[in-house]
Amino acid sequence: MSSLSNKRIILGVTGGIAAYKSAEVVRRLQDQGADVRVVMTPAASEFIRPLTMQALSGHPVHSDLLDSEAEAGMGHIELARWADLLLIAPASADFIANMVHGKADSLLGAIHLATPAKVAVAPAMNQAMWSHPASLANIDALEQRGVTIIGPDQGIQACGDIGPGRMEQPDSIVSSAGSLFQNGLLSGKKIVITAGPTREALDPVRYISNHSSGKMGFALATAARDAGAVVTVVSGPVSIAAPERCTFISVVSAQDMLDASLATAADADIFIAAAAVADYRATTVADQKIKKQGDNMTISLEKNPDIVSAVALANPGLFVVGFAAETQDVETYARDKLQRKNLGAIIANDVSLTDIGFNADDNEVIWIDRSSSVIFSKRSKTQLARDIIEHLAKNQVS
Ligand code: C5P
């Protein structure tokens, strides 16, 4: 699977003779599985018709910052947030200078400022313009900000000059774009992740559950997807948005989560159990709302199935990762759980600390497998998830 598969790319086209090649860039990006939206500057439309780009990309072309119809569809901020990559090809000398100064006088300029996505530019200009100290300083400034510069190519130019400044060939632009997502560490791997709490009914209106937010499981799903995996999330009831571009299976009880996990893990490569499964459920679930009776009441509970153990047992070739929330002797208890549940690795954290773990945005964990342990010091769950996925991919997945 290509590292551009499922990636959302805004192709920015600025004015220059090379703009005709951006049609080819759209095609090549799509061949790699990317979802492409085109944004053109007014000057670009002098070189290639927006209709051509619309037909190729299969979506309306965005060009005007003040177009109320386009803004009503996908506004420029929304578009900026939507993207994984802003790729500007061709990028004219003028547009590059505008980027350096953070100008937002065009739709593309505004998107450039608003996007959290990676940014890459493929410059295209006359060789003398490219070699001018101003252009070179501008390129240097963009590079220092983390913008990827693709090319330019050398050769005969449209004006007859020979030298550097031609836009890179579409093939090599697309391959450079692909290498920006070269965390294709889990390309083609199938991962199932359980997340959130489970809810165990007592009667039609009451249940037993816990405060798990689902954040850690969802962050792992996003990180695994970004690493190229095909991800299925089996989640209990949570109030945060489902991770995008993952198959999402919503469940309620531990039994539902077990059924969905066994069904999806059968053809997976990796199973990560990040859910906080209720340990017990009611022995019988009342059909009607249970009435108040006397000062005390007793509820009879029975043990829930252990999902991660059942999945590990049913799928001997699967790499299974569990979590362990402990309040003391974290590593000792976690290691015991690793053996008992037949896991490939366990991620342990100390839940006696209130600023990390359960329902918090940060976490600090120890990765423990049969031969080693690695400490991941306190960081955001998003960053931690990326680091865990990278560690898992590099060390455990063949
Ligand atoms: O036994 P304990 O609940 O501490 O184990 C935690 C790990 O086991 C987590 O990975 C959790 O998702 C998983 N688990 C499970 N099914 C259960 C209980 C825990 O999959 N019934």
- Helix pair 381-396, 215-226: axis angle to 10 deg: 50
324 Cα: distance to centroid of ligand 1 (angstroms) = 7
Inside any domain, residue 87: yes
Do residue 135 and residue 267 come from a single domain?
A: no
266 Cα: distance to centroid of ligand 1 (angstroms) = 19
CA dist 33 and 343 (Å) reads 34
| String of DSSP letters for 73-140 | HS-HHHHHHH-SEEEEEEE-HHHHHHHHTT--SSHHHHHHHH--SEEEEEE---HHHHHSHHHHHHHH
pLDDT of residue 160: 84
CATH number, position 326: 3.40.50.10300
360 Cα: distance to centroid of ligand 1 (angstroms) = 19
Inside any domain, residue 115: yes
Residue 222 is encoded by which pair of tokens?
A: 């996003």
Ligand 1 pocket mutation pick from 323, 332, 347 by most atoms within 8 angstroms of CB: 323
Do residue 22 and residue 160 come from a single domain?
A: yes
pLDDT of residue 56: 94
- Return the amino acid letter for 354: T
Domain boundary among 151, 179, 207: 179
CA dist 81 and 74 (Å) reads 10
Quote the distance between the C-alpha of residue 79 and its chain's center. 16
Query: Domain count of the chain?
Result: 2
Do residue 82 and residue 201 come from a single domain?
A: no
Whether the CB-CB separation of 341 and 306 falls below 8 Å is answered with yes
81 Cα: distance to centroid of ligand 1 (angstroms) = 35
Q: Name every protein residue with a CB atom under 6 angstroms from any ligand 1 atom.
A: 194, 254, 273, 275, 277, 304, 306-308, 322-324, 337
What does the pLDDT profile of the chain (398 residues) look like in tens digits? 577 888 899 999 999 999 999 999 999 999 999 999 999 999 999 999 999 999 999 999 998 877 777 676 678 888 999 999 999 999 999 999 999 999 999 999 999 999 989 999 999 999 999 999 999 999 999 999 999 999 998 888 788 888 889 999 999 899 899 888 866 789 889 999 999 999 999 999 999 999 999 999 999 999 999 888 999 999 999 999 999 889 999 999 999 999 999 999 999 999 999 999 999 999 999 999 999 989 999 999 999 999 999 999 999 999 999 999 889 999 999 999 999 999 999 999 988 876 665 667 788 999 999 988 999 988 888 889 988 999 999 886 55
* Cα dist from 398 to 186, 348, 369, whole Å: 10, 23, 15
Inside any domain, residue 377: yes
Domain boundary among 179, 199, 214: 179
pLDDT of residue 183: 64
- Which atom from ligand 1 is nearest to the alpha carbon of 347? 10
Ligand 1 pocket mutation pick from 256, 281, 308 by most atoms within 8 angstroms of CB: 308
Inside any domain, residue 2: no
Overall pTM surpassing 0.85 (yes/no): no
> Structural domain of residue 70, as residue ranges?
8-179
* Element housing 373 (H / E): strand 373-380
pLDDT of residue 239: 95
Do residue 38 and residue 128 come from a single domain?
A: yes
Do residue 341 and residue 228 come from a single domain?
A: yes
CATH number, position 53: 3.40.50.1950
Do residue 170 and residue 292 come from a single domain?
A: no
Domain boundary among 135, 156, 179: 179
| String of DSSP letters for 133-192 | HHHHHHHHHHHHTTPEE--PEEEE-TTS-EEEEEPPPHHHHHHHHHHTT--GGGTT-EEE
Do residue 196 and residue 149 come from a single domain?
A: no
Inside any domain, residue 55: yes
pLDDT of residue 137: 97
pLDDT of residue 184: 75
Active site residue 159: yes
